């Protein structure tokens, strides 16, 4: 994978973006078993001001994750030994660190499954390094920015409380372990309870700058629904046939 001149020009344009400077110095864990790809990603991430740790297999990735506590993972799914999906499950069981999956084009099922397990976005091999950097920037921005882009809000729908300032969701007082994407989607709907949102509206409002398809919304909300129902919130998140989703106070 060659770093082309136009990619370098794109990096210079990125440096001139004021928003870029707020996202500098993130620690990114690159989990990739192909040394050339890992080296290219490391070079681009460092040029953007990020710190980088690398792991070539799943076991090493989990050890580094627990020791370094990175701000974001770039996670290849096809790894020797412990798979990328197993790494993702372990990371999600431990916390909400943003994860961008790196998948092969033929792994569409794994892409959707990965999103259901809590990945924030994905890129498909073969990829351009600048495409990956754009996804890294977008995910870091989404996870660091306030959900509504303005003053913090606390939304209450039946027993569900969503606090965009604290980035916490509680059901009957108990904190829900939501991924960043799940939280943003629920917060978007909580601002107007009872309204039916299309998948396109939810994707644009809660996952801006992602090139993921609308079915990604289904994957994230399927996971959010399981968590709500496990906590006693059956019927809060409703599917509106032919339209999309809504949060309903009636349950």
Tens digits of per-residue pLDDT, 31-59? Answer: 999 999 999 999 999 999 999 999 999 99
The rounded distance, in Å, linking the Cα atoms of 169 and 117 is 18
Would you state the pLDDT for residue 106? 57
- The pTM score is 0.61
pLDDT tier at 208, thresholds 50, 70, 90: low
Superfamily of domain 5-143: Response regulator (3.40.50.2300)
pLDDT at 11 over 50: no
Would you state the pLDDT for residue 205? 78
The rounded distance, in Å, linking the Cα atoms of 123 and 102 is 5
Domain boundaries, the chain: 5-143, 154-247
Tokens of 62: 């989990």
Q: Which residues pair with 197 in a beta bridge?
A: 245
User: Checking DSSP bridges between strand 99-104 and strand 121-125, what pairing results, if any?
Assistant: parallel
Domain 154-247: give its CATH code: 1.10.10.10
Cβ burial, residue 189 (10 Å; 0-12/13-18/19+): buried
Contact 73, 40 (CB under 8 A): no
* Least confident among 68-77, 96-105, 148-157, 162-171: 148-157
């Amino acid at each position: 994978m060659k770093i082309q001149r136009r990619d370098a020009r794109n990096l210079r344009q990125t440096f001139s973006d004021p928003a870029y400077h707020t996202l500098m110095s993130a620690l990114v864990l690159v989990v990739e078993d192909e040394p050339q790809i890992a080296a290219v990603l490391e070079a681009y991430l460092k040029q953007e001001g990020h710190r980088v740790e690398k792991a070539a297999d799943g076991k090493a990735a989990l050890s580094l994750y627990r020791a370094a506590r990175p701000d974001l993972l770039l996670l290849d799914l096809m790894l020797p030994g412990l798979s990328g999906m197993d790494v993702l499950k372990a990371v999600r069981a431990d916390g909400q660190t943003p994860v961008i999956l790196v998948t092969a084009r033929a792994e569409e099922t794994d892409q959707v499954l990965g999103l259901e397990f809590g990945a924030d976005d994905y890129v498909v091999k073969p990829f351009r390094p600048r495409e990956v950097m754009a996804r890294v920037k977008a995910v870091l921005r989404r996870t660091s920015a306030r959900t509504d882009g303005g003053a913090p809000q606390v939304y209450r729908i039946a027993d569900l409380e969503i606090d965009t300032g604290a980035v916490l969701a509680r059901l009957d007082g108990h904190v829900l372990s939501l991924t960043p994407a799940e939280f943003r989607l629920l917060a978007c709907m909580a601002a107007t309870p009872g309204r039916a949102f299309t998948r396109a509206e939810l994707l644009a409002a809660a996952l801006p700058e992602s090139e993921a398809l609308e079915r990604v919304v289904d994957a994230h909300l399927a996971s959010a629904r399981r968590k709500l129902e496990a906590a006693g919130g059956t019927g809060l998140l409703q599917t509106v046939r032919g339209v999309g989703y809504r949060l309903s106070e009636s349950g």
